[in-house]
Structure 1
Amino acid sequence: MAQLRYDIYQGVRKAKTKLAIGFSALGLLLGGGGLSLLPSIAAHADPVCTETGFFRDGINLTAARIGGDVTGPLEATGCDIGVYYGPTSNNTVNEAEIFGARYFGVVNRGGDVDVTDSEIHNIGDTPFSGAQHGVGINFASVTTGDSTNRSICDSTITTTGTVSGNDVYEYQKGGIVVSCDGASVDIQNNTVTGLGPFKFIAQNGIQVGFGAIAVGVSGNTVTANIYTAGAAKPFVSTGVLFFSGTLQGVDSNKVLPTIQRTNDVHQNQANVTVIN
C-alpha cells in the first residue's frame, strides 16, 4: 500500500492546510482480474471557535481548543486562539502543528503547560497587519479582562512550563512571549523566525517582561525580526528582549552577554536587548 501526502499552502504567507490522500487496495475489479487502487480523501472540517472568557481589545477571545493535551495538526482559522489553557491546567502540547489563529497560537494563563517539539505558524491577521497581536506562544500571569477593562498582570496567578524544541514562524507580533510576575518558563532549543524586513510592525522573537522569570533561555535560534520604519517611529524589532524580566540565576548586568553566548541570535534589527 502506498501513501501519498500533499501539503497545500493557501493564504498570503504559508497558510498551511494538510490534505492526506491515501491509496488502498479495495479488491478485484469485476471482470478485470486486476487490483483496484482507489483514493480515499479525508474530509476537512472548519474549527469550532469557543469563547474562552479571556479578553483582548474588548473581545472575548475564541479558541479552537480549550484545555487538554494537543498533538498533531490543529487548524484555528477563524478563531482568535489555537489552544487556550486557564488556571489549574496541567497539560502538554507535543508534536503539534497549530496555525491560523488571529491573536495567539498557544495561551497559558495560570496553568502548568509544556509546549514541545511543535510547529506554530501563521498567527495574526490575514494578511498580516500592524495590529499589536499575533503571538505564537504566550505565557502570562494576567487577569481575564472584560469588554471594558483590559487584561493586566496579576501576581496571584502562577504560570509555569517549558517551551522547548519548537519551530515558531509567520507570526504577526511575537514568537514566544512570557509576561508578568508569577510567570516562570524555561525556553530552550526553539527556532523562532520573524517575517524579515517589514515596515508595518516591530516584531520580537522571544520576549520576557513585566516581572516574568525565564528559568533558562538557551539553545534558541532567533532571526529575521526587522522593523524598517524606525526613522519615522521610535521602535525597534528585537531577536530576544528582556523588558523588566529576569533570567534565573543571572545578575541583571550579565543577562545580555549570557543570552548572546548561549543562543544563536542573528540577522535581527537588534539581536538582544535588555531593559531593566
Structure 2
Amino acid sequence: MTFSAASSSANLYVTTTGNNAGNCQTLGAPCLTIAYALSQAAAGDTINIGGGTFTEELTISKSVVLNGAGMASTIIKAPAVLTSNPAVPGGSPGQQTTIVFVTGATTSATIQNLQIQGPGSSTCGSIGYGIFAGGGANLTLSNNHVLMIRDISPPLSSCQNGSAIRYGAPSTSQSASGSISNNIIDTYQKNGITLSNTGTVVTVTGSSVTGELPPPNTAQNGIQISSGAIATVSNNIVSNNQCGAVGCGPGVADVWATGILLFDAGAGTAINNNAISGNDGGLVAVATTVGQSFSASGNTFSANRYANILASALTLNLTGNTITGSNWGVVAQASSPANTVVNLSGGNVVSQAAAAGLTVFDDNLADAFAATIQGSGNQFVNNAVGAANTPVQGTVSLACNWWGSPYGPINPANPLGQGNPATVNTTFTNWAIDNTTFACTGNPQNNILLASPQIPVPTLHPILLAALVLTLAIFAAAGVPRRRR
C-alpha cells in the first residue's frame, strides 16, 4: 500500500540586506531578490518582502503569494531597461514589456501590500504595463499601489503605451481571471486597468483609479473592459481621465477619455455603486456587434466634462444612479450596427446638466439605426433642459417621471408646466405629481383644470343670516294665506 504525504506551504523571506543563497525560508537569513525567492518557492508558498526598493522584473508562473510590508514600504521598481516579451501585448516591440508578468493555466497567484512603480527609462514605448496577467492565470491584487507606468521623457506623451494593470489580450490570444481590490492606481500614461479578451473574468472593487491633470496627450481610460472580457466593477472611485490631444473635444463625434469604457465587453458585465467624476465621459458603452446589453446601478456620476453616460449600439439599463452636472447627463447615440436603447429603470436622478439631462443623437439619420431613451420612476431636475430631442434624433419616451413640479415639464404641449423643460418630440405624459410615491396622474388637461378659476359660493354676513332665519320663522307661524277663487 502506498501513502502520499500532504505537502505544507512555506514562508520565504526577502530583504534589501539579504543574500541569494539557500531556500529563503529562514527569517534570520533572508534572500536578496524576489526573483531568486520565486525560483525557490513551491506552489502554495508565501514570499514575504521587507521594506525597501527592489529593482526587478518578475515572472510569476506558480501559485504563490507575494506579500509586502505595505504599499508605501515595499517597492518593486522597473529596471532601467525592460525585457521585450512576445507574450505581452503591444503595438510595437518596445511596448511588449511589463514589470510583473503572471502566466500559466495552473497559476493562482496573489500580490498584496506593496507598490509597483515605473517609469520606463526613455521616450515612446519604453514601458508597456506595470502588471500583465495572461496565459489563463488567476491573479488576486489586493492593497497595492501601482504608479508611474509611463515613459520618462516626455511624460504622458501621445504614445499609446503605459497601462498600470492588464488582464488578457486578444492580440496574443490570452485570457486571465481574478480580482482587483482596494488598490490605488494613478499616474499612468494610457489606462489604469484594462480587462480584455473572451475568457477574461475579473472583479474590480474598492479601488481608486485616478487620471492625470492637466489633460495629457492621450485619451486615458480609467477602467476599460473590452473584446469579450466580463467584469463586475463596484465600489470604486474613478476620476480625472481627460484628453488634451488634438482631436479630443466636447462633441459626441470627438475623442474622449473615459472613466469606465465598455468596448464590446462580455455579457454579464455590470457597473455598480461606483463614484465616477471629472472624466471626459463618465461611463461610455460602445458595441461593434449586435445584441449587447449591460447594467449600471447605484453609481454616482458627477461633473464629468462632456457626458456622464453615453451608450452606442447596445442596450444600457440604468437603475438608481445619481447623475449630476456635465454637459449632458445621458446620451443615447444611434450608430451602426444596432439600435441604441437606454432604459431608465427607476430611481435615477438626473440634475444640473448644462445642455440636457437626457438627449438622443443620431450620427447618420439616413441609416436604419435608431436611439431611444425610455423609462419611468426617475427624476429630472435643475437641468438646462430635462430631455431634448430637437431636431428629431430618436425617441424619448418618459411617462411617469418627476420633472420637479406637480404641473409637469415646461413644454409647448403643456403650457402650464413649471418643471424641468422637455423639448418638442418628447413624450412625458402622464408625469408623476410627486417624487415619493410617483403617482402618475399629471397631464395637460389636469393642469388646465387645476388652474381654472372656480365660481365662488355666495356667503351671507352672520347678522343678515340671522334676520333671514327669523323672517322665515315668522312666516311659518302665521301661515300662508290661500288665494281666493
Judge same fold: TM > 0.5, yes or no: yes
How far apart, CA to CA, are the structure 2 residues paired with 1:158 and 1:227?
29
User: Residues 141 and 197 from structure 1, CA distance in 2 versus in 1: closer, same or farther, beyond 3 angstroms?
Assistant: same
Q: Say if 2:212 is the partner of 1:186.
A: no
Amino acid in structure 2 at the alignment position of 1:109: G
Give me the whole-angstrom Cα distance separating, in 1, the residues matched to 2:148 and 2:280.
Answer: 21
1:221, CA displacement in angstroms?
Answer: 0.2
After superposition, residues 6-155 of structure 1 pair within 5 angstroms as 47-48=55-56, 64-67=57-60, 68-70=64-66, 71=68, 72-78=74-80, 79=82, 80-88=97-105, 89-101=107-119, 102-110=127-135, 111-126=137-152, 127-142=155-170, 152=171, 154=173
Amino acid at match of 2:236: N
Alignment of 1:266 onto 2:277: yes
Residue 107 and residue 191 in structure 1: after superposition, are their counterparts in 2 closer, same or farther (change >3 A)?
same
1:229 deviates by 3.1
Question: What is residue 259 of structure 2 aligned with on the other side?
Answer: 239
Distance in 1 between residues matched to 2:101 and 2:76, nearest whole Å: 12
Q: Work out whether residues 156 and 216 of structure 2, in 8 Å CA contact, stay in contact via their aligned partners in 1.
A: no
What is the SS of the residue equivalent to 1:195? coil
SS at match of 1:91: strand
Q: Is the 8 A contact 1:153 1:181 kept in 2?
A: no
Larger Rg: 2
More strand per residue: 1 or 2?
A: 1
Which letter does structure 2 place at the counterpart of 1:114?
Answer: T
Percent identical: 26
Q: Are the counterparts in 2 of residues 168 and 191 from structure 1 also a CA contact under 8 Å?
A: yes
1:230 CA displacement: 5.5
Q: Secondary structure at the match of 2:212?
A: strand
Ranges in structure 2 where 5+ consecutive residues have no aligned partner: 1-15, 17-49, 69-73, 83-96, 120-126, 288-485
- In structure 1, distance between residues paired with 2:150 and 2:278: 22
Once the two structures are superposed, residues 90-126 of structure 1 have per-residue CA deviations (whole angstroms, 9 ceiling, x without a partner) of 1111111000152111110120110111000000100
CA RMSD of aligned residues (A): 2.5
Report the CA distance shift for 1:82/1:202 in structure 2 as closer, same or farther (over 3 A): same
Distance 1:92 1:195 in 2: 28
- String of CA shifts for 1:6-56, please: whole Å, max 9, x gaps: xxxxxxxxxxxxx9xxxxxxxxxxxxxxxxxxxxxx9x87734xxxxxxxx
Please state whether the residue corresponding to 2:241 is helix, strand or coil: strand
Are the equivalent residues in 1 in contact too, given 2:59–2:100 (CA < 8 A)?
yes
Alpha-carbon distance between aligned partners in 1 of 2:239 and 2:53, rounded to the nearest angstrom = 34
**Retained in 1: the 8 A contact 2:131–2:165?**
yes
Gaps of 5+ in 1: 1-18, 20-41, 49-63, 143-151
Correspondence for 1:229: 245
Q: How many residues align?
A: 200
**Preserved CA contact (<8 Å) 1:153 1:180:** no
Residue 188 of structure 2: aligned partner: 171
TM-score, structure 1 as length reference: 0.66
Compare 220-229 and 204-213 and name the one that shifted more. Answer: 220-229
Alignment partner, residue 229 of structure 2 = 212
- Rounded to whole Å, the distance in 1 between the matches of 2:210 and 2:79 is 21
After TM superposition, the runs of 4+ consecutive aligned structure 1 residues lying more than 6 A away are: none
